[in-house]
Structure 1
Amino acid sequence: MDQSNQNWFSSVEAPIKVSSRDAVSWDESKDLVVVGFGGAGAATALQSLDNGLSVIALDKFAGGGATTINGAVVYAGAGTSIQKEANIADTADNMFNYLKQESEDIVSDETLRDFCDTSPEMINWLQEKGVEFGSTVWHKKTSYPGPEYFVYHSDNSLAKSYCKHATPAARGHRAYVPIEEGRKATNLGYAIFNPLKQSALDKGLLLETYHEVRQLIVDDNQEVLGVVALYFDDEKLLKKYQKLKKRAERLLMVLPPILPGYNFFAKRAMAVLEKAKILESKRSQKMIEAKMGVMLSAGGFIYNADMLNHYAPKYNASLPLGTEGDDGSGIRLGQSVGGKAENMDCISAWRFINPPLSFGRGFIVNKHGQRFIDELVYGATLGVEMVENQEGKAWLILDKKLIKAALEEVSGGKALNFQRDLARLNVWFAAVKASTIEGLAEKLSLPADALKDQLETYNQAARAQNGSDIFEKSDDDLVEITGPFYGIDISLDAKLFPCPALTLGGLKINEATGQVLDDNSNVVKGLYASGRNAIGVSSKNYVSGLSVADCIFSGRRAAQHISGH
């Protein structure tokens, strides 16, 4: 991709072209250079080290990436040791039949089957590297279980329409964190990343943090030979830079994005980050040789507003889910040497409404007053349907008894803090109330006749309890809705109900090896991609833990090819 193209939207530069390896005065030389040290980078590095290679990993920041900020969930099945301990019946075929509904044709059946077949071994490998898992099971539908539960249905497997193709099995494997720390669903991924990082360091990994890669180095045959890294060789400058970064991070965490006043702190944080950016111009550069390959594992591009606006403008109003490192640079590096990016408009938008379960027992309508989905499907399934096919607009329709039940369901420590706060905030400050459905329609600017018809149809299915719901919602979750009526705006741009999103597109790769492919499906020699830099199992539809699992799977797969195993 030509850097002068208006759609480049990146600090990545055109590659440095040399005649041969010998024409470069290398500052460092290793068998493998890993660009981006999160879950995929750590898996690649550790497997490569196990296979006897020398490895250097470079990260623009401190390392860990989006893996460290997630809920420490790994999607695994086919009869893992944890599933067996929890008495959960599952097979590779069953896991495949379920995931085929989510992945569709984004990867080949052969790759998907390999992912499922090797899933138990992946959990064993993680345990061998020091990752601990719990085996207590939460059997019901939820966006995220309480801190005492470590295995849950982190997908759509309990939804009736999915049960037709695969038997439900809990596959969300939460890495163990102390219960007192587990009353949140973010910033727990250290339980996965830290053991992998330490294992890699123990095996001889050279980890260079605050090293940004903006250029690849290629020879006359377009083979990738290494990278150019920018870094602070002045320790005082580095410490000043880190201090500014931490200050900005603290400002961004003062208030949740849903609360009034967040923008004030966010603007101050951006001003601090601008000061940090000035310091970046004072960095030095080094040339690092990759004798056997360069791995691109630097995350997605949800934090690159220009790229998001270009590829997926429908999602501009979403809340970025990731880290500052998710700027698309890894994908752009691949493109700079001819790599082809695909599925770049595919975004996972998370519209989770359960818990409280009673929210999911209401019904959701679009701006035409029409229902369009089983309200208790996985949150990302709901979010993507809302954005892609319903113009990003949706309202949750409830009644007084469901509102009362919802508040009870999140009280007294029955839900995690963010689940409780979102429910209360929307009931107390966002819910619109009316004694009649026509009155509610008027207040929400929805077609009254359509909303009334939808209410009658929904209530009819709830009364019948015979599996007659048009969207195959479980009879157990169908509740007759009577006045007074409440409506909550859950649109993509809802002010008090933020919708987090992450990107799923990436570089096209040879699925058997992890090698980056060009527009003609030819291999870009010396270049690999994994995790959210590459098209993988989770690049069509996301379910919790699937991206981390794909990071481990794709990183290890590429490492095996690089080392000839």
Structure 2
Amino acid sequence: MAVTNPGHADVVVVGGGIAGACTAISAAETGADVVLLERSSGIGGTSALAAGHFYLGGGTPVQLASGFEDTVEAMFDYLMAVTAEPDAAKIRAYCDDSVAHFHWLEAHGVEFERSFYPGKAVVQPGTEGLMWTGNEKVWPYRDQAEPAPRGHKIAAPAEQGGSQVMRVMAAALERAGVRVQCASQVTELRTDDAGTVVGVGCRDESLVRANSVVLATGGYVMNPEMLRTYTPVLAEKAVPLGTPTDDGSGILLGQSVGGALAHMHGAFMTASFYPPADLLKGIVVNAEGGRFVAEDSYHGRTAAAVLRESRSYLIVDAAIMAWPELPMIEFIDGWETIAEMEAALGIPEGKLAATLRDYNEAAACGTDPVLHKHPDWLVPVDTGPWAAFHLTPPEATYVGFTLGGLRTTVDGQVCRADGGVIAGLYAVGACASTIVQDGAGYSSGTCLGESSYFGRRAGMHAAGARA
């Protein structure tokens, strides 16, 4: 419902993406009076651009219906292993509550088909409900945690999931009685003499008083100055993936009242070369002709490794040559001999030949002693002619978004640099740092998953703080 002068609320939520919507719904379900302020003309935000994956596990109905056994401990062990500086409390809560969160989402209209897509892709091509969307089967993680697919996508075709999720959330907000005010940009946080956040000021000079304020404003990928400061690699080498409101406004608001930052260097970047999955059977080499990342890795992990190299190439042979379905990497050429390919790519003589020789000998025996590539993708690359693709920008086109934000507790309270919390202030979604910290540890569905879950937690906690 629209409101022209919200005036006062128990909880004010700033931002109308998945994090803000779930925060507002959760708070309203406790009986709190909730106002959601969105600066654009409608809710959705960058969440509406997503494919619609939620990273969920521990034995969800979709996993069970698809024949996969998963446990909370396996999910916890995996997320702890792939996270650079894991927050065990947040990861534990997320995993413990994952099945319950799945049911909460479905109860609010988010539909997941009880089906599994077995291919290796960036997103399910149809409405399939489950897919491998991380590095669960990639070494060393497959030895550290029992692998299970956890990429749950809403029942919408291909890339249409995010927009469908936000249509569902808009209806859920209305049912919950949340007062939604669009075209309302928050420009300041109001505090009392003790430093407690007591409301927000808007661009139109209106003031909304509140017992709790929750920032859910998105990341900062559209703020060039912040990108240059915190994630210059994203600023220099990627096309920003987001909406104009991903300008860091919520992060800056939090900082203005003493909020601390966490993992601001974190960024997700990708130039995926699969699908088709057969390209994973090739090898990825650097300027010296050496392999440095297992080719079966999730595309974000591969990209993170590639971006640490001066030049990188995907090498394929005639048996697996295919054209990438996503227009992100550039075909270079084909050659009748390895020596010709080395010369054309500027790789030192004999280096690529030696890499291919060692790789092919091991692959023929079903092993990869160097990088432990999964047997599903392990075949000799020995059928000429050979071809190469550029994996390095600018020849390869990268897209990306930011991952760092305000430091928060497990319930979303914004922390100060000294570890204390700012009374009355919360942050969720892409303007907060919760679980995911870098592209190497990212799994598709983590953003919508953690944003919706920690939004729910923050909404309940913020509502409980009302007078």
TM-score (normalised: structure 1): 0.77
Task: Identify the match of residue 437 of structure 1 among 338, 362, 380.
Answer: 338
| CA distance 1:319–1:556, change in 2 (3 Å) | same
Q: Which amino acid aligns with 2:417?
A: D
Aligned pair 1:504/2:403, yes or no?
Answer: yes
Aligned-residue offset at 1:78: 0.4
List per-residue Cα deviations over 1:3-60 (Å, max 9, x = no partner). Answer: xxxxxxxxxxxxxxxxxxxxxxx97111111111101100100000000111111112
**Alignment correspondent of 1:564:** 464
Aligned-residue offset at 1:447: 2.2
Q: Which amino acid aligns with 1:534?
A: A
Aligned pair 1:74/2:74, yes or no?
Answer: no
**Alignment correspondent of 1:382:** 302
Within a 5 Å distance, the mapping from 1:239-278 to structure 2 comes to none
**Alignment correspondent of 1:203:** 176
Aligned pair 1:300/2:219, yes or no?
Answer: yes
Aligned-residue offset at 1:564: 2.3
TM-score (normalised: structure 2): 0.93
CA–CA distance in structure 1, aligned partners of residues 283 and 194 of structure 2: 59
8 Å CA contact 1:339–1:516 kept in 2: the answer is yes
CA–CA distance in structure 2, aligned partners of residues 434 and 538 of structure 1: 41
**Alignment correspondent of 2:349:** 448
**Alignment correspondent of 1:136:** 115
CA–CA distance in structure 2, aligned partners of residues 65 and 155 of structure 1: 24
Task: Identify the match of residue 525 of structure 1 among 394, 403, 423.
Answer: 423
**Alignment correspondent of 2:103:** 124
Q: Which amino acid aligns with 1:526?
A: G
8 Å CA contact 1:347–1:384 kept in 2: the answer is no
Task: Identify the match of residue 153 of structure 2 among 167, 170, 174.
Answer: 174
CA–CA distance in structure 1, aligned partners of residues 326 and 296 of structure 2: 20
CA–CA distance in structure 2, aligned partners of residues 110 and 310 of structure 1: 29
Within a 5 Å distance, the mapping from 1:77-88 to structure 2 comes to 77-88=57-68
Local SS of the residue matching 2:187: strand
**Alignment correspondent of 2:293:** 373
| CA distance 1:148–1:554, change in 2 (3 Å) | closer
Give the count of matched residue pairs. Answer: 456
Local SS of the residue matching 2:205: strand
Structure 2: which 5+ runs fail to align?
A: none
Aligned-residue offset at 1:421: 5.0
**Alignment correspondent of 2:280:** 360
8 Å CA contact 1:437–1:448 kept in 2: the answer is no
**Alignment correspondent of 1:470:** 370
8 Å CA contact 2:127–2:154 kept in 1: the answer is no
Local SS of the residue matching 1:402: coil
Aligned pair 1:346/2:246, yes or no?
Answer: no
CA–CA distance in structure 2, aligned partners of residues 538 and 40 of structure 1: 15
**Alignment correspondent of 2:8:** 29
Local SS of the residue matching 2:320: helix
CA–CA distance in structure 2, aligned partners of residues 36 and 104 of structure 1: 28
8 Å CA contact 1:344–1:504 kept in 2: the answer is yes
CA–CA distance in structure 2, aligned partners of residues 473 and 395 of structure 1: 17
Aligned pair 1:189/2:162, yes or no?
Answer: yes
Task: Identify the match of residue 230 of structure 2 among 311, 316, 319.
Answer: 311
Aligned-residue offset at 1:68: 0.9
CA–CA distance in structure 2, aligned partners of residues 214 and 446 of structure 1: 53
List per-residue Cα deviations over 1:239-276 (Å, max 9, x = no partner). Answer: xxxxxxxxxxxxxxxxxxxxxxxxxxxxxxxxxxxxxx
Q: Which has the higher helix share?
A: 1
**Alignment correspondent of 2:33:** 54
Aligned-residue offset at 1:148: 4.4
CA–CA distance in structure 2, aligned partners of residues 472 and 451 of structure 1: 19
Q: Which amino acid aligns with 1:92?
A: V
Q: Which amino acid aligns with 2:340?
A: G
List per-residue Cα deviations over 1:372-420 (Å, max 9, x = no partner). Answer: 0111110111111222x324x32111122221xx25xxxxxxxxxxx62
List per-residue Cα deviations over 1:409-440 (Å, max 9, x = no partner). Answer: xxxxxxxxxx62538x84xxx23222222221
Matched-pair identity in %: 30
**Alignment correspondent of 1:163:** 142
CA–CA distance in structure 2, aligned partners of residues 27 and 195 of structure 1: 24
Aligned pair 1:63/2:43, yes or no?
Answer: yes
CA–CA distance in structure 2, aligned partners of residues 81 and 519 of structure 1: 41
Structure 1: which 5+ runs fail to align?
A: 1-25, 231-283, 408-418
Task: Identify the match of residue 435 of structure 2 among 512, 516, 537.
Answer: 537
Local SS of the residue matching 1:338: coil
Aligned-residue offset at 1:121: 0.5
**Alignment correspondent of 1:480:** 380
Local SS of the residue matching 1:448: coil
Aligned pair 1:325/2:226, yes or no?
Answer: no
CA–CA distance in structure 2, aligned partners of residues 536 and 561 of structure 1: 16
| CA distance 1:210–1:368, change in 2 (3 Å) | farther
Aligned-residue offset at 1:509: 1.0
**Alignment correspondent of 1:335:** 255
CA–CA distance in structure 1, aligned partners of residues 58 and 375 of structure 2: 29
Q: Which amino acid aligns with 1:502?
A: F
